[in-house]
Copies of this chain bind each other. A is one copy, B any other.
Protein backbone atom coordinates (compact mmCIF):
# COMPACT_ATOMS: atom_id res chain seq x y z
CA UNK A 1 0.00 0.00 0.00
CA UNK A 2 1.51 3.31 -0.97
CA UNK A 3 1.86 5.79 1.87
CA UNK A 4 -0.23 8.95 2.09
CA UNK A 5 2.46 11.57 1.77
CA UNK A 6 1.56 15.18 1.03
CA UNK A 7 4.27 17.61 0.02
CA UNK A 8 3.06 21.20 -0.33
CA UNK A 9 4.61 24.58 -0.63
CA UNK A 10 3.43 27.23 1.80
CA UNK A 11 4.13 30.89 1.96
CA UNK A 12 5.21 31.98 5.33
CA UNK A 13 7.65 34.52 6.66
CA UNK A 14 10.57 32.34 7.73
CA UNK A 15 11.30 32.50 11.41
CA UNK A 16 14.67 34.13 10.90
CA UNK A 17 12.94 36.94 9.06
CA UNK A 18 10.23 37.53 11.65
CA UNK A 19 10.87 40.51 13.83
CA UNK A 20 10.49 38.82 17.15
CA UNK A 21 11.49 35.33 18.07
CA UNK A 22 11.35 33.62 21.40
CA UNK A 23 12.96 30.34 22.36
CA UNK A 24 13.47 28.52 25.62
CA UNK A 25 15.41 25.50 26.78
CA UNK A 26 15.04 23.95 30.20
CA UNK A 27 18.27 22.26 31.19
CA UNK A 28 18.48 18.65 32.32
CA UNK A 29 18.40 19.66 35.97
CA UNK A 30 15.15 21.62 35.67
CA UNK A 31 12.32 19.86 37.55
CA UNK A 32 10.29 19.35 34.36
CA UNK A 33 13.29 17.88 32.57
CA UNK A 34 14.04 15.64 35.54
CA UNK A 35 10.50 14.29 35.28
CA UNK A 36 10.91 13.71 31.55
CA UNK A 37 14.27 12.09 32.02
CA UNK A 38 13.09 9.69 34.69
CA UNK A 39 10.04 8.78 32.62
CA UNK A 40 12.18 7.93 29.63
CA UNK A 41 14.77 6.10 31.70
CA UNK A 42 12.01 3.94 33.14
CA UNK A 43 10.56 3.17 29.73
CA UNK A 44 14.01 2.34 28.38
CA UNK A 45 14.83 -0.04 31.22
CA UNK A 46 11.44 -1.71 30.97
CA UNK A 47 11.99 -2.24 27.25
CA UNK A 48 15.30 -3.88 27.97
CA UNK A 49 13.85 -6.11 30.67
CA UNK A 50 10.91 -7.16 28.48
CA UNK A 51 13.23 -7.88 25.57
CA UNK A 52 15.46 -9.99 27.75
CA UNK A 53 12.61 -11.95 29.28
CA UNK A 54 10.17 -12.22 26.37
CA UNK A 55 12.08 -11.24 23.25
CA UNK A 56 9.60 -8.42 22.68
CA UNK A 57 8.69 -5.18 24.37
CA UNK A 58 5.45 -5.46 26.33
CA UNK A 59 2.89 -2.75 26.84
CA UNK A 60 3.74 0.17 29.08
CA UNK A 61 3.40 3.92 29.34
CA UNK A 62 5.29 5.44 32.19
CA UNK A 63 4.70 8.97 31.05
CA UNK A 64 3.64 10.28 34.44
CA UNK A 65 6.28 11.38 36.86
CA UNK A 66 5.56 14.13 39.33
CA UNK A 67 8.36 15.93 41.12
CA UNK A 68 7.22 17.71 44.28
CA UNK A 69 9.71 20.25 45.48
CA UNK A 70 11.38 19.82 48.85
CA UNK A 71 13.01 22.28 51.16
CA UNK A 72 16.67 23.07 51.53
CA UNK A 73 18.77 25.21 53.80
CA UNK A 74 21.67 26.80 52.04
CA UNK A 75 24.27 29.40 52.75
CA UNK A 76 27.69 30.16 51.41
CA UNK A 77 29.79 27.07 51.91
CA UNK A 78 27.02 24.70 52.94
CA UNK A 79 23.69 23.28 51.86
CA UNK A 80 21.36 20.57 53.13
CA UNK A 81 18.07 19.23 51.90
CA UNK A 82 15.88 19.31 54.99
CA UNK A 83 12.66 18.09 53.38
CA UNK A 84 13.31 15.62 50.59
CA UNK A 85 12.10 16.06 47.06
CA UNK A 86 9.15 13.71 46.60
CA UNK A 87 8.92 11.87 43.30
CA UNK A 88 5.77 10.01 42.36
CA UNK A 89 6.06 7.50 39.54
CA UNK A 90 2.81 6.52 37.94
CA UNK A 91 1.64 5.25 34.57
CA UNK A 92 1.07 1.63 33.55
CA UNK A 93 3.22 -1.36 32.74
CA UNK A 94 2.72 -5.06 32.17
CA UNK A 95 3.67 -6.84 35.37
CA UNK A 96 2.56 -10.36 34.66
CA UNK A 97 2.63 -12.04 31.29
CA UNK A 98 1.63 -15.66 31.18
CA UNK A 99 3.13 -17.13 34.33
CA UNK A 100 6.12 -14.86 34.27
CA UNK A 101 6.49 -11.85 36.46
CA UNK A 102 8.23 -8.61 35.67
CA UNK A 103 9.42 -6.64 38.71
CA UNK A 104 8.19 -3.39 37.25
CA UNK A 105 8.43 -1.30 40.41
CA UNK A 106 11.95 -2.46 41.07
CA UNK A 107 13.04 -1.68 37.53
CA UNK A 108 11.29 1.67 37.55
CA UNK A 109 12.65 2.77 40.89
CA UNK A 110 16.16 1.73 40.00
CA UNK A 111 15.95 3.49 36.64
CA UNK A 112 14.66 6.70 38.22
CA UNK A 113 17.25 6.61 40.97
CA UNK A 114 20.10 5.95 38.58
CA UNK A 115 18.92 8.68 36.27
CA UNK A 116 18.88 11.24 39.08
CA UNK A 117 22.32 10.21 40.30
CA UNK A 118 23.73 10.39 36.82
CA UNK A 119 22.13 13.73 36.03
CA UNK A 120 22.61 15.67 39.23
CA UNK A 121 26.23 15.51 40.26
CA UNK A 122 25.57 16.90 43.72
CA UNK A 123 22.52 15.02 44.88
CA UNK A 124 22.40 12.21 47.40
CA UNK A 125 19.46 10.35 45.97
CA UNK A 126 19.02 8.06 48.93
CA UNK A 127 18.62 10.86 51.40
CA UNK A 128 17.42 13.82 49.37
CA UNK A 129 14.66 12.11 47.44
CA UNK A 130 11.61 10.09 48.41
CA UNK A 131 10.77 7.82 45.52
CA UNK A 132 7.20 6.53 45.48
CA UNK A 133 5.67 4.31 42.85
CA UNK A 134 2.00 3.99 42.02
CA UNK A 135 2.57 2.43 38.63
CA UNK A 136 -0.40 0.23 37.75
CA UNK A 137 -0.82 -3.00 35.88
CA UNK A 138 -1.38 -2.39 32.16
CA UNK A 139 -4.62 -3.50 30.64
CA UNK A 140 -4.15 -7.14 29.72
CA UNK A 141 -6.00 -6.71 26.43
CA UNK A 142 -3.10 -4.68 25.23
CA UNK A 143 -0.56 -7.43 25.59
CA UNK A 144 -1.59 -9.10 22.36
CA UNK A 145 -0.61 -6.13 20.32
CA UNK A 146 2.92 -6.42 21.47
CA UNK A 147 3.66 -10.06 21.29
CA UNK A 148 3.35 -10.35 17.56
CA UNK A 149 6.80 -8.92 17.24
CA UNK A 150 7.56 -9.62 13.62
CA UNK A 151 4.69 -7.52 12.32
CA UNK A 152 4.56 -3.76 12.11
CA UNK A 153 2.96 -2.45 15.32
CA UNK A 154 -0.42 -0.78 15.10
CA UNK A 155 -0.84 2.81 16.23
CA UNK A 156 -2.16 2.96 19.77
CA UNK A 157 -4.05 6.17 19.22
CA UNK A 158 -5.05 8.86 16.81
CA UNK A 159 -2.32 11.36 17.38
CA UNK A 160 0.42 13.25 15.58
CA UNK A 161 4.03 14.29 15.64
CA UNK A 162 5.63 17.47 14.40
CA UNK A 163 9.10 18.55 13.44
CA UNK A 164 10.88 21.31 11.61
CA UNK A 165 14.27 22.27 10.26
CA UNK A 166 16.63 23.96 10.17
CA UNK A 167 17.05 25.48 13.62
CA UNK A 168 17.29 29.23 13.78
CA UNK A 169 20.21 31.05 15.35
CA UNK A 170 18.36 31.53 18.62
CA UNK A 171 17.26 27.94 18.72
CA UNK A 172 20.80 26.68 18.23
CA UNK A 173 22.05 29.17 20.77
CA UNK A 174 19.64 28.09 23.50
CA UNK A 175 20.25 24.43 22.87
CA UNK A 176 24.01 24.60 22.59
CA UNK A 177 24.58 26.88 25.54
CA UNK A 178 22.73 24.55 27.89
CA UNK A 179 24.47 21.46 26.52
CA UNK A 180 27.86 23.10 26.95
CA UNK A 181 27.16 24.40 30.43
CA UNK A 182 26.04 20.95 31.51
CA UNK A 183 28.93 19.11 29.90
CA UNK A 184 31.43 17.20 32.00
CA UNK A 185 34.25 19.39 30.73
CA UNK A 186 32.46 22.53 31.87
CA UNK A 187 31.53 21.05 35.24
CA UNK A 188 35.15 20.21 35.83
CA UNK A 189 36.08 23.81 35.31
CA UNK A 190 33.01 25.17 37.13
CA UNK A 191 32.05 22.66 39.82
CA UNK A 192 30.11 25.55 41.37
CA UNK A 193 27.46 25.29 38.67
CA UNK A 194 24.51 22.95 39.06
CA UNK A 195 22.46 21.30 36.33
CA UNK A 196 19.27 23.35 36.70
CA UNK A 197 20.03 25.76 33.90
CA UNK A 198 17.35 27.63 32.01
CA UNK A 199 18.17 29.47 28.82
CA UNK A 200 15.68 31.88 27.29
CA UNK A 201 16.50 33.54 24.01
CA UNK A 202 14.73 36.60 22.68
CA UNK A 203 15.54 38.03 19.30
CA UNK A 204 14.29 41.49 18.41
CA UNK A 205 15.37 42.19 14.87
CA UNK A 206 19.03 41.31 14.81
CA UNK A 207 19.66 41.64 18.49
CA UNK A 208 19.57 38.56 20.70
CA UNK A 209 19.21 38.61 24.45
CA UNK A 210 19.99 35.41 26.32
CA UNK A 211 18.56 35.28 29.82
CA UNK A 212 20.12 32.42 31.69
CA UNK A 213 19.69 31.10 35.17
CA UNK A 214 22.19 28.69 36.68
CA UNK A 215 21.64 27.07 40.07
CA UNK A 216 24.90 27.24 41.98
CA UNK A 217 26.16 24.61 44.43
CA UNK A 218 26.29 26.34 47.80
CA UNK A 219 28.88 24.00 49.25
CA UNK A 220 31.34 25.04 46.59
CA UNK A 221 30.78 28.77 46.84
CA UNK A 222 32.46 29.99 50.01
CA UNK A 223 31.39 33.63 49.79
CA UNK A 224 29.74 36.34 47.75
CA UNK A 225 32.97 37.32 46.03
CA UNK A 226 33.50 33.82 44.82
CA UNK A 227 29.91 33.74 43.60
CA UNK A 228 30.28 36.95 41.64
CA UNK A 229 33.48 35.83 40.02
CA UNK A 230 31.90 32.53 38.92
CA UNK A 231 28.90 34.33 37.47
CA UNK A 232 31.21 36.66 35.56
CA UNK A 233 33.28 33.78 34.26
CA UNK A 234 30.26 31.80 33.09
CA UNK A 235 28.91 34.87 31.35
CA UNK A 236 32.12 35.18 29.43
CA UNK A 237 32.01 31.51 28.51
CA UNK A 238 28.52 31.93 27.14
CA UNK A 239 29.55 34.96 25.13
CA UNK A 240 32.37 32.90 23.67
CA UNK A 241 30.00 30.03 22.79
CA UNK A 242 27.52 32.44 21.26
CA UNK A 243 30.09 34.07 19.04
CA UNK A 244 30.73 30.67 17.47
CA UNK A 245 27.07 30.21 16.59
CA UNK A 246 25.75 33.51 15.36
CA UNK A 247 27.04 36.71 13.92
CA UNK A 248 24.22 38.64 15.48
CA UNK A 249 24.83 40.73 18.55
CA UNK A 250 24.21 38.72 21.70
CA UNK A 251 23.62 40.13 25.15
CA UNK A 252 23.96 37.66 28.00
CA UNK A 253 22.18 38.06 31.33
CA UNK A 254 22.93 35.56 34.08
CA UNK A 255 20.99 35.04 37.29
CA UNK A 256 19.34 38.41 36.98
CA UNK A 257 17.27 37.78 40.10
CA UNK A 258 20.37 37.99 42.30
CA UNK A 259 20.77 40.84 44.74
CA UNK A 260 24.45 41.11 45.66
CA UNK A 261 23.76 43.80 48.18
CA UNK A 262 21.51 41.59 50.25
CA UNK A 263 23.61 38.52 49.38
CA UNK A 264 20.43 36.95 48.06
CA UNK A 265 21.79 34.80 45.25
CA UNK A 266 20.87 31.55 43.53
CA UNK A 267 22.42 28.91 45.79
CA UNK A 268 21.29 25.29 46.03
CA UNK A 269 22.44 22.17 47.82
CA UNK A 270 21.81 19.80 44.94
CA UNK A 271 21.94 21.87 41.77
CA UNK A 272 18.20 21.75 41.11
CA UNK A 273 15.46 24.14 42.18
CA UNK A 274 13.32 21.08 42.95
CA UNK A 275 15.01 21.15 46.34
CA UNK A 276 13.43 24.51 47.14
CA UNK A 277 9.84 24.01 46.26
CA UNK A 278 9.86 23.97 42.48
CA UNK A 279 7.73 21.16 41.12
CA UNK A 280 8.02 19.41 37.80
CA UNK A 281 6.11 17.01 35.65
CA UNK A 282 6.40 15.11 32.42
CA UNK A 283 5.52 16.92 29.24
CA UNK A 284 5.65 20.44 30.53
CA UNK A 285 9.15 21.22 29.41
CA UNK A 286 11.08 20.98 26.18
CA UNK A 287 9.58 19.37 23.09
CA UNK A 288 11.29 16.38 21.54
CA UNK A 289 13.87 18.59 19.79
CA UNK A 290 14.97 19.95 23.14
CA UNK A 291 13.34 23.35 22.72
CA UNK A 292 10.22 25.34 23.40
CA UNK A 293 9.51 27.40 20.30
CA UNK A 294 6.32 29.46 20.28
CA UNK A 295 7.20 30.73 16.81
CA UNK A 296 6.88 27.21 15.47
CA UNK A 297 4.30 24.45 15.37
CA UNK A 298 4.52 22.24 18.39
CA UNK A 299 2.90 19.09 19.61
CA UNK A 300 1.47 19.08 23.12
CA UNK A 301 2.25 15.41 23.39
CA UNK A 302 4.35 14.34 26.36
CA UNK A 303 6.66 11.94 24.59
CA UNK A 304 8.79 11.02 27.59
CA UNK A 305 7.88 7.71 29.19
CA UNK A 306 5.60 6.53 26.43
CA UNK A 307 6.46 3.14 25.00
CA UNK A 308 8.57 3.35 21.84
CA UNK A 309 6.82 0.48 20.08
CA UNK A 310 3.33 1.58 19.20
CA UNK A 311 2.83 4.93 20.91
CA UNK A 312 2.73 7.28 17.97
CA UNK A 313 2.74 10.27 20.31
CA UNK A 314 6.33 9.33 21.00
CA UNK A 315 7.49 7.71 17.76
CA UNK A 316 6.09 10.30 15.36
CA UNK A 317 7.47 13.15 17.45
CA UNK A 318 10.88 11.52 17.34
CA UNK A 319 10.65 10.80 13.64
CA UNK A 320 9.23 14.06 12.31
CA UNK A 321 12.19 16.28 13.27
CA UNK A 322 14.58 13.71 11.78
CA UNK A 323 12.72 13.77 8.48
CA UNK A 324 12.67 17.56 8.55
CA UNK A 325 16.37 17.70 9.22
CA UNK A 326 17.19 15.27 6.43
CA UNK A 327 15.10 17.27 3.96
CA UNK A 328 16.74 20.51 5.03
CA UNK A 329 20.19 19.02 4.67
CA UNK A 330 19.78 16.99 1.52
CA UNK A 331 17.34 18.92 -0.63
CA UNK A 332 18.64 22.11 -2.12
CA UNK A 333 16.44 25.21 -2.24
CA UNK A 334 14.51 24.53 0.97
CA UNK A 335 14.46 27.41 3.40
CA UNK A 336 12.27 25.83 6.03
CA UNK A 337 10.52 22.53 6.27
CA UNK A 338 7.69 21.51 8.59
CA UNK A 339 6.71 17.89 8.97
CA UNK A 340 3.53 16.52 10.53
CA UNK A 341 2.77 12.85 10.88
CA UNK A 342 -0.84 11.90 11.64
CA UNK A 343 -1.62 8.44 12.96
CA UNK A 344 -4.88 6.62 13.01
CA UNK A 345 -5.57 4.20 15.80
CA UNK A 346 -5.21 0.63 14.59
CA UNK A 347 -3.23 1.35 11.42
CA UNK A 348 0.35 0.09 11.09
CA UNK A 349 2.66 2.79 12.34
CA UNK A 350 4.56 2.93 9.05
CA UNK A 351 1.29 3.87 7.37
CA UNK A 352 0.26 7.20 8.88
CA UNK A 353 -3.12 8.52 7.98
CA UNK A 354 -1.25 11.46 6.54
CA UNK A 355 2.37 12.56 6.33
CA UNK A 356 2.34 16.26 5.58
CA UNK A 357 5.40 18.21 4.54
CA UNK A 358 5.18 21.98 4.24
CA UNK A 359 8.04 23.69 2.48
CA UNK A 360 9.15 27.28 2.40
CA UNK A 361 11.28 27.45 -0.70
CA UNK A 362 14.05 29.73 -1.69
CA UNK A 363 13.37 32.08 -4.54
CA UNK A 364 13.99 30.24 -7.76
CA UNK A 365 13.23 26.79 -6.47
CA UNK A 366 10.06 25.18 -7.74
CA UNK A 367 8.11 22.62 -5.77
CA UNK A 368 7.91 20.23 -8.72
CA UNK A 369 11.68 20.09 -9.04
CA UNK A 370 12.15 18.71 -5.52
CA UNK A 371 8.83 17.10 -4.65
CA UNK A 372 10.00 13.61 -5.53
CA UNK A 373 13.15 13.88 -3.45
CA UNK A 374 11.21 14.98 -0.42
CA UNK A 375 8.67 12.25 -0.96
CA UNK A 376 11.39 9.64 -1.06
CA UNK A 377 12.96 10.83 2.14
CA UNK A 378 9.62 10.64 3.94
CA UNK A 379 8.80 7.25 2.46
CA UNK A 380 12.12 5.76 3.38
CA UNK A 381 11.99 7.07 6.91
CA UNK A 382 8.53 5.60 7.40
CA UNK A 383 9.63 2.26 5.99
CA UNK A 384 12.40 2.19 8.56
CA UNK A 385 10.28 3.56 11.40
CA UNK A 386 11.13 0.70 13.72
CA UNK A 387 14.66 1.98 13.77
CA UNK A 388 13.32 4.74 16.05
CA UNK A 389 12.28 2.12 18.56
CA UNK A 390 15.69 0.52 18.47
CA UNK A 391 17.59 3.77 18.78
CA UNK A 392 15.47 4.84 21.71
CA UNK A 393 16.06 1.59 23.55
CA UNK A 394 19.76 1.86 22.87
CA UNK A 395 19.68 5.27 24.53
CA UNK A 396 20.58 7.21 21.41
CA UNK A 397 17.46 9.38 21.27
CA UNK A 398 16.14 11.85 23.77
CA UNK A 399 12.68 13.36 24.00
CA UNK A 400 13.34 16.59 25.81
Contact = CB atoms under 8 A, between A and B. Distances in A.
A172 to B, nearest CB: 19
13 contacts: A11-B13, A68-B90, A73-B101, A82-B96, A82-B101, A92-B277, A107-B127, A110-B127, A130-B133, A131-B131, A139-B276, A162-B294, A294-B300
A295 B294 contact: no
Q: How many copies does the complex hold?
A: 4
Nearest to A61: B279
A211 B277 CA distance: 40
Nearest to A91: B279
A46 to B, nearest CB: 13
A360 to B, nearest CB: 10
Nearest to A99: B75
Interface in A337-354: 340, 342, 345-346, 353-354
Contacts of A277: 92, 136, 138-139
B19 A356 contact: yes
A152 to B, nearest CB: 19
Interface in A137-177: 138-139, 141, 158, 160, 162
A217 interface: no
Q: Chain A, interface size: which category?
A: 35 or more
Interface in A99-119: 101-107, 109-110, 113
A8 interface: yes
A88 interface: yes
B90 A279 contact: yes
A283 interface: yes
Nearest to A107: B127
A160 B12 contact: no
A377 interface: no
A231 interface: no
A63 B11 CA distance: 38
Given A10-B13, A20-B354, A281-B281, 19 more contacts: A8-B18, A12-B12, A12-B13, A20-B340, A64-B68, A64-B279, A68-B134, A80-B103, A82-B101, A83-B105, A84-B109, A91-B279, A92-B277, A106-B124, A106-B127, A130-B131, A130-B133, A132-B132, A202-B342
Interface string A14-41: 0000111010000000000000000000
B22 A340 contact: yes
Contacts of A257: 345
Contacts of A276: 139
A284 interface: yes
A106 B88 contact: no
A329 interface: no
A81 interface: yes
Contact of A281 (B103, B104, B132, B283): B283
A280 to B, nearest CB: 8
A160 B83 CA distance: 32
B130 A132 contact: yes
Contacts of A283: 281, 283-284
Contacts of A221: none
A356 B20 contact: yes
B300 A297 contact: no
A292 interface: yes
